[in-house]
Structure 1
Amino acid sequence: MTTLLLAAHDGSSIKDATLKALTPALALGDDIHVLVAGDGVAAAAAEAAKLKGVSRVLTAEAPALGHGLAEPLAALIVALAPAYSAVLAPATSTFKNAVPRAAALLDVMQISDITAVLAPDTFERPTYAGNALITVRSTDPIKLITVRTASFRATLVEDRPPAPIEAVAVPTDPGLSTFVGDVFSTADRPELTSARVVVSGGRALGSEEQFKALLLPLADRLGAAVGASRAAVDAGYAPNDWQVGQTGKAVSPDLYVAVGISGAIQHLAGMKDAKVIVAINKDGEAPIFQVADYGLVGDLFELVPELTKALG
């Protein structure tokens, strides 16, 4: 049977998380349908139609779907899922909210945060904050899966004739939640989960003012996204959407610079897939140095400005 991939998008284009989730979808088979749900998704659907292995794009448009509400999206997944052997979605906040609801309604288990496809019914996923990997085999007729996108390379858009695009019926909105409003944070820097370089700060920076004064110039020099440990976010040094870790975002950049971060298990779970890790910390015994490729032991208030200056 065919695999259904739920697309993360902004209405006008497909997000990088979708391209990464497509990689394990292709490992399940080369016949992929992509669902683009929202309100005004024609441009994103046209882009999805050129993805490798995609034989059909399904569009579902309704005002409730445009706001990513969990209940109407779950109802849509339930309506479509019986035609597929597997339904995959990137582990974004929208799909982590909707897919478990759909799994409950279908009476199947959800397989969360997979990092590898071992067989059509067997998957690898992290547990214990990423300190162990478990192998999960499902006998359910429909596999509902979320994908840890930091573990996969993106499958790029192909220059090929587009797959057919077909509108599907949208189930009646269950009406269990109501959209109130959006509050967006805007930034000129790359998106944290898809950035090639990430500069993150911890509680050792001491205050929001020092966090910004030290890290933002360094991030600007490197063209980097800015992240933070949970401790820094809890202390009010950085906004919630900058948090990297088990309860934040998982990243896998080419370069990860950890400034004043001790390396608690919770944080390592979100960034240890980075290809090169640089740690700056005054405590030479900090756990972060156990995973770092390069380490600077010293006062971050001296080392970070020197590093920024050296980068020109």
Structure 2
Amino acid sequence: MARLRRCLLVLLLVPLFAVPESAAAATSSFRGVNWADARDNYVDGWVIPTGLTAGDSYDSVRGKADGIITGFQTKLGANTVRLPINPQSVNSDWWGRYKGAADSALSHGMKVIFGYWEANKDGFVDDGGAWNTMWDKVTADYGGNGNVYFEPMNEPFGYSLNAWVSLCSTWLSRHSAIPRGRVLISGTGYNDNVTGVGAASALTGTLLSLHFYGFWASDTTRSAWTANLSNRLGSYSSRTIIDEAGAPMTTGLDYSAGHQDGNNFTAYFAATTDLARSRQMGVVYWPGLRSGDTYSITRQSGSGLETNNATGVTQLRWGWGL
């Protein structure tokens, strides 16, 4: 996630004008969590989400994932998991084993979002050839499963809007057998604004993904955060999944009603979940599980999970419409 690295640039990209609210939304069926690598997903090597190890067999990954996925469902009410991929992971023997995580989620009736993280941390696809090979393999393995969704790139901040639309158009043409409604196109910058990609006719019919974090501003009221998020969505709420949003869950903050305004993070999280609920947008929390991350809403406990903040869970479920 590289929060500090992104903060200043995101502030510079925030629109300064208000935009009208979108029409009725259609992404609220995504009640998700990110299952992330403890090192962050920007790794030059295999991505290995918390709880898995590089030495795991397919059966071991599948068994460990069964406990974690069940925890996401029973402790949170999640029905979607976002999994990181990169060419190093997919174009190697790790892929045949790592697929156990996705297969576990699918066997539990979950949706799966595969998202590409680059390793160079410069906002560009690292190697176009390896990236294409990766996506050819992933779509060949999971393109026929209607519960699997594909996000060509996470946080494409190196690209201009036109260059990013062009790259996504090429991806859509190469993988034209995948219905556009199962492709998530990241917003520009750090996934922080979907108005440009939403308006691009070349991307018509795709879903859009937005990231939104409380460290991007210092506001302490829900109204200020609601305006901030609304500007980033423009009129495209109906196509948008907020597939990264999160706040500290291990520091004792109280996210319950009556304790929201007055604190940067509680006001932010209340505004985000309130707007998602009112516009019926999907939210994929960052992270559902990641060791060493104060934002992690769960932690491992035996073969399963426990939650880190009951009020945070309640507020997230509110945003999911539960």
What TM-score do you get using the length of structure 2 for normalisation?
A: 0.29
Please identify the structure whose Cα radius of gyration is greater: 1
Q: Whose relative contact order is higher, 1 or 2, with alpha carbons under 8 Å and at least 6 apart?
A: 2
> By percentage of residues, which structure has more helix?
2
